[in-house]
Amino acid sequence: MRTLRVAESAGFCFGVQRSVELAEKLLAEHGACASLGELIHNEDVVRELSRKGMRVISDPAEAREGEQVLIRAHGVSPERIRALEERGAVVTDATCPKVKAIHKIVSRASGEGRFVLIIGMKQHPEVEAICGWCGEHLVVENAAELAEIWDNYTNYWEKPLSLVVQTTQTRSNFTECCDFIKKRCTNVKISDTICLATFTRQEEAARLAADCDAMIVIGGKHSANSVHLAQICEEHCGNVQFIERTDELDMSRLRQADVVGLTAGASTPAWIIKEVRNKMSDEIKIGESAVEKEPTFDEMLEETLKPIYNGDKVSGTVVAITGTEISVDLGAKQTGVIPAEEFTEGGAKLEDVVKVGDTVEAVVVRVNDVEGVATLSKKRLDAAKVWADVEAAVEDGTVLEGVVTEDNKGGVVVSVKGVRVFVPASQTDLPRDASMAELLKKTVRLKITEVNKARKRVVGSIRRVAQAERRERTEAIWNEIEIGKKYHGVVKSLTSYGAFVDIGGIDGMVHVSELSWGRIHQPSEVLSVGDEVDVYVINFDKEKRKISLGYKDPDANPWKMFTDRFGVGDIASVKIVKLMPFGAFAEVLPGVDGLIHISQIANRRIGKPEDVLTVGDVVDAKVTAIDDEKHKISLSIRALGEPAPVVAEEESEEPAEDALVYEVSESGVATGEAPAEVEE
């Protein structure tokens, strides 16, 4: 063995440290006390505390009247606590705050009529205590057992389900169980109650074991977290020794190992780790001076359990999340608790804004040493920071963001990270007759115009920001505009001659002729105010600040559709749309009309078109001429009929006029001129 690597997180966790400290305090104040069950899963620590005057009782009935009784770190059921009090014992609760958080979760779930599923070791005292706080519940140790019993508990799975996990379970086991449940239950609430210290220790042990030739794990054989630690190391290293104390260490198994790793469970005191390390260090000639430089257990305990007070600014790591609160490890005697509602302002989802392992800052609101809990407020700390930002924003014109929470006739109230900012109606950027309620629950950007901290009054303006942003967008558009460029806009208003469209701070006009390829009389036939539309630039004048826009799709040009489909000689089914003295106009396709000259309506001479046709008639006609340049079409019904019978010379009709070729305007309206004899 040449190198010894010791895990940074080895040894006592916060909950164990707290319980040992409480025991030491009771012994110092009263000279004796009792522990309901072994205080922690370490025989050496229990033996040392027993030497100092702490006796271990297994049942509340063993407690003496007036005796100081300590509830161990694993916790107990409420029934056992009541039994102790009925015996006249003075109870001090040393339950780990992480475990107490689980008690609250399952108690609340049972009160809501939910079935509780506990992932953990059935005979472990922590799990037994959790069961005491539940109504209907079931304990399973792993996903395999869960799958095995699934069919036998059909009635349970049909109920609303809450799932918790023993604080010392492995992350992989918890994840496997969650995956199984999620696929089968639709109404399940999952609380990740694995202690962050346990998870950190397990992750570190896995990395260390993968890099070492041998691993030493120190911990009690009946300590769940120590057992899991050894199992994790065995998955990554083939030479693992799981020991409780120094005399169990087999040095012969380390002779051929170049690198040896050392870690310890949460119930292992620092002095045992130190003894094992010193024994191993002799093999690699690490001097005693190097060992002595490490802080003592008492020093580490004192550093970790520093007191906190109301008003303190604290920082900690999120260790558990429920629907109502977030538990934070502060590295102190107390576990911090922040109400979940402080993270969900504005409708945010709790899982989107905070996760286990996140570092948060907050202010201490209330300290409860009896329960080992400190109520925190992240909102108050954020508000204090925001006040400083708000005051600075008046001077430098910084744009802030907030959510509109209230409205009235005078304006709206915007919450900027907890600070109430009043925005007068004239500064909301809403039209004069608009309702302030339109802004409720919306996120807005504003500038601070007035701050009076003494009166806690802050005034802001949404309008100033909106105007500045519109100016920026306007300049950007004019700098980049070009003919043919496309924009996505909103219809702002309609007139008889077109529609005005906001393309991002600038209004452009779509002429009625650009709204549709077909016939329309009013823009309202195509668009409505508020419609979102895609338009393109037809023309613009930067000096006059005018933009002409197009709306109708160039690819839907009816003339192109006509020429793609028909040619001279083709027969089309057409609809008569207008009758004139010199002929009839017929719609070939929407937006494309052709002229049937009076001489081409029938195979006989007729006086006027209405003698044969009526507006709305649908007839077949032959395309006889196409002027692609002028968009003119000539049609003939006569060309499809039988030749006219021979008539007397005096009745013979005059030579037929050539079919009129007429123009179709850009708006789709067909126009033409009458033949010469009609004009005369």
| 350 in Cβ contact with 318 (< 8 Å) | no
For residues 614 and 612, what is the distance between their CA atoms, to the nearest angstrom?
Answer: 7
For residues 223 and 220, what is the distance between their CA atoms, to the nearest angstrom?
Answer: 5
Instruction: Tell me how far CA of residue 540 lies from CA of 485, 505, 514, 536, 537, in angstroms.
Output: 11, 15, 15, 11, 7
Q: What tokens does 334 get?
A: 């107390």
3-state secondary structure 491-515: EEEEECCEEEEECCCCEEEEEHHHC
DSSP readout, 1-66?
--EEEE-TT-S--HHHHHHHHHHHHHHHHHS-EEEES-SSS-HHHHHHHHHHTEEEESSGGGPPTT
Quote the DSSP letter at residue 230: H
CA nearest to 420, candidates 454, 386, 392 = 386
The phi, psi pair for 606, rounded to 5°, reads -120, 155
| 329 in Cβ contact with 373 (< 8 Å) | no
Token look-up 């799990």 returns 127
Q: Which of 126, 244, 514, 587 is catalytic?
A: 126
CA nearest to 28, candidates 51, 4, 7, 52 = 52
Token look-up 């996140």 returns 358
From the number of C-beta atoms within 10 Å of its C-beta (0-12, 13-18, 19+), residue 190 rates as middle
Secondary element (H or E) of residue 266: none
| 256 in Cβ contact with 211 (< 8 Å) | no
What single letter denotes the amino acid at residue 1?
M
Q: What tokens does 603 get?
A: 């195979």
Sign, CA dihedral 534-538-542-547, equals: negative
Active site residue 126: yes
Contacts of 99 (CB under 8 A, 6+ apart): 15, 73, 74, 75, 126, 129, 130, 167
Q: Which residues are catalytic?
A: 126
